[in-house]
Structure 1
Amino acid sequence: MVALYEEPEKPNRAATPENPEIELLRLELAEMKEKYEAIVEENKKLKTKLAQYEPPQEEKRAE
């Protein structure tokens, strides 16, 4: 497919953020991702622990 127009090359702003807020947001995002991963891991552990106390799914349906 032929483009009807050429897009000008966009400057790579990732290498040099112009606004200090951008860097703060990146740091905050990295922190949030770490917290999210920790919560996902904790959730898996808690689900495993909970499964020990709940009856299997087959028994629940039979009732």
Structure 2
Amino acid sequence: MMQYKEEKEAKKEAFRKYLESSGVLDALTKVLVALYEQNDKPSSALEFIQQKLGGPSASEYEKLQAEMSNLQIKYDELVAEHQETCKELEEHKNSHATAMASTKESIDGEAHKDGF
């Protein structure tokens, strides 16, 4: 039982050191101090923290989601258009190859008639 508590404490300490060395503790402390020092507290503390940490606000996030959705639709349309264009190109290549083979056969056939 004692060993479990020691392992748990060691994990907590390792995580704390990780947060400290990566700058997370400093960033969170600064943001929380800024929130504390606000004379007029924001209606949403979470949104305040997100903005201070560089994240989008809820309305900006919704706009970005809508933009991403519109771009995904446009992307899907362009991919479908590209596939259709590739299909048409392949059909043109095949019809051209068929026409060239037919022309070659008729030229070869006439050459045999003429004795060449």
Normalising by the smaller structure, the TM-score range is 0.5 to 0.7
Q: TM-score, normalised by structure 1?
A: 0.57
Q: Output the CA distance in 2 between the equivalents of 1:32 and 1:52.
A: 30
Q: What is residue 60 of structure 2 aligned with on the other side?
A: 21
Q: Output the CA distance in 1 between the equivalents of 2:80 and 2:91.
A: 17
Q: Which runs of at least 4 in structure 1 moved beyond 6 Å after TM superposition? A: none
Q: In structure 2, what residue type is equivalent to 1:40?
A: V
Larger Rg: 2
The runs of 5 or more residues in structure 2 that have no matched partner are 1-6, 16-46, 48-56, 95-116
More helix per residue: 1 or 2?
Answer: 2
The runs of 5 or more residues in structure 1 that have no matched partner are 7-17, 56-63
Q: What secondary structure, in the 3-state scheme, does the structure 2 residue paired with 1:35 have?
A: helix
Deviation at 1:38, TM superposition (A): 0.5
State the superposition RMSD in angstroms: 2.3
Number of aligned residue pairs:
43
What is the 5 A alignment of 1:1-63? Answer: 4-5=11-12, 18=47, 19=57, 20-55=59-94
The percent of aligned pairs where both chains have the same amino acid is 23
